[in-house]
């Protein structure tokens, strides 16, 4: 099947579902559009135009799709619960998948801020803030701003916490490990429901958003059980997810965003195999490059907007900027994926295949995890 990868993990074959990659591509583009709208509205205001209804669509919902997919993929690609050293191999693979590109682009941001100090307002203890950004430690940039120096990296603070918890769960047989992780995350979310951003680490690690990873895990268990839905039921699940996720209900995040994201992902992974087309081919490419697109797009959109604002004026300028911005974000993200991300992953994967001495070989990064 084009776009799917049959891979070997600990003696088992796991298929990376094409629909998961399509969803990753869609989620990445939703986040790009979310940030692109801020710049487009700036140009609309400059041109004397009224705000666009398009900017009020909750495009940031793509983040919740990413979180559910993360839990889904981790349970599908992990076959080594309870095995000695499995937790360590899991963490090494996740670090290799997440950290190198993030550190490269964070370093670019740090260099840019040091060369142009007024381009980004940093806290008084900027070196502690920068170090925390590298280490995925939640820290305040400003009183109400929990973003690291590479802004969208705030989601990776949640991801890395989930990976650490999942590694602990791997110490146990799968049923026990998942029960411990579920109970732990539910307890954290309940205990932290009244915390505010002034305690950034506790706020992040007890945020109800962590339950979205648990929803993804249970969706993965449903998938592994062999349960499937008809095409009509799958469409209904996706539409229900969109309908529930579009309004901004004042509910806990797990209900207002997590469950809708789970319905959308579930509709696509539990339905009969979808036929691939030219559109899904491009979605697969976007899915493969989604991590690079996600991390890099804000770095290119702001300078692109500044250049555009100087060179292009008129009522059509915001629309032209938006369309051009989507293209620029995708092209730059794909270029980073093929020129930097993939070579780094291949390099570290080869290093994992060459353990020192007579130690047991560490499981290498496999195709599903390269895309996870």
More confident residue, 342 or 194: 342
Q: What's the CA gap between 70 and 86, in Å, rounded?
A: 19
248-293 residue pLDDT tens: 777 888 899 999 999 999 999 999 988 888 888 999 999 999 999 9
The region, left, alpha or beta by phi > 0 then psi within -120 to 50, assigned to residue 312 is beta
More confident residue, 226 or 361: 226
Q: At what angle do helices 278-288 and 290-311 cross, to 10 degrees?
A: 100
What SS3 state is found at 51? coil
pLDDT at 66: 98
Q: Quick one: average pLDDT of 116-122?
A: 86
pLDDT at 119: 83
**DSSP labels, 74-98:** HHHH---TT-TTHHHHHHHHHHHHH
Give the pLDDT band of residue 371 (cuts 50, 70, 90): low
142-172 residue pLDDT tens: 888 999 999 999 999 999 999 999 999 999 9
Lowest mean pLDDT among 234-248, 296-310, 346-360: 346-360
pLDDT at 357: 42
List the chain domain ranges: 5-370
Of all residues in the chain, what percent carry a pLDDT higher than 90? 77
- Whether the pLDDT of residue 8 is over 90: the answer is no
């Amino acid at each position: 099947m084009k776009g799917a990868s049959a891979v070997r993990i600990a003696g088992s074959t796991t298929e990376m579902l094409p629909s998961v990659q399509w969803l990753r591509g869609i989620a990445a583009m939703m986040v790009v559009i979310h940030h692109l709208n801020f710049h487009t509205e700036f140009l609309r205001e400059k041109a004397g135009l009224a705000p666009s209804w398009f900017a009020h669509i909750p495009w940031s919902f793509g983040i919740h799709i990413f979180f559910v997919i993360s839990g889904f993929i981790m349970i599908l690609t992990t076959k080594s619960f309870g095995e000695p050293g499995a937790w360590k191999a899991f963490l090494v693979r996740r670090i290799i998948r997440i950290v190198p590109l993030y550190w490269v682009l964070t370093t670019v941001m740090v260099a840019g801020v040091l060369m142009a100090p007024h381009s980004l307002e940093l806290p008084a203890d900027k070196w502690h803030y920068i170090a925390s950004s590298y280490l995925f430690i939640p820290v305040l940039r400003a009183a109400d701003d929990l973003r690291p120096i590479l802004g969208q990296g705030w989601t990776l603070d949640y991801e890395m916490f989930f990976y650490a918890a999942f590694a602990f769960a791997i110490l146990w047989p799968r049923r026990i490990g998942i029960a411990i992780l579920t109970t732990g995350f539910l307890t954290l979310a309940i205990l932290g429901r009244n915390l505010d951003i002034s305690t950034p680490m506790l706020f992040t690690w007890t945020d109800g958003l962590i339950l979205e990873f648990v929803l993804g895990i249970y969706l993965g268990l449903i998938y592994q059980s062999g349960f499937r839905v008809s095409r009509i039921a799958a469409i209904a699940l996706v539409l229900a997810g969109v309908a529930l996720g579009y309004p901004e209900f004042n509910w806990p995040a797990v209900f207002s965003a997590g469950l809708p994201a789970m319905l959308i992902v579930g509709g696509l992974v539990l339905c009969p195999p979808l036929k691939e087309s030219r559109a899904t081919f491009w979605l697969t490419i976007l899915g493969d490059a989604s991590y690079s697109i996600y991390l890099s797009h804000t770095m290119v959109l702001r300078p692109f907007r500044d250049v555009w604002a100087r060179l292009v004026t008129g009522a059509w300028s915001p629309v032209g900027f938006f369309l051009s911005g989507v293209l620029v974000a995708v092209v730059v993200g794909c270029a980073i994926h093929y020129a930097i991300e993939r070579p780094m992953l291949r390099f570290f994967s080869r290093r994992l295949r060459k353990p020192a001495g007579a130690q047991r070989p560490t499981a290498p990064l496999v195709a599903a995890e390269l895309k996870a």
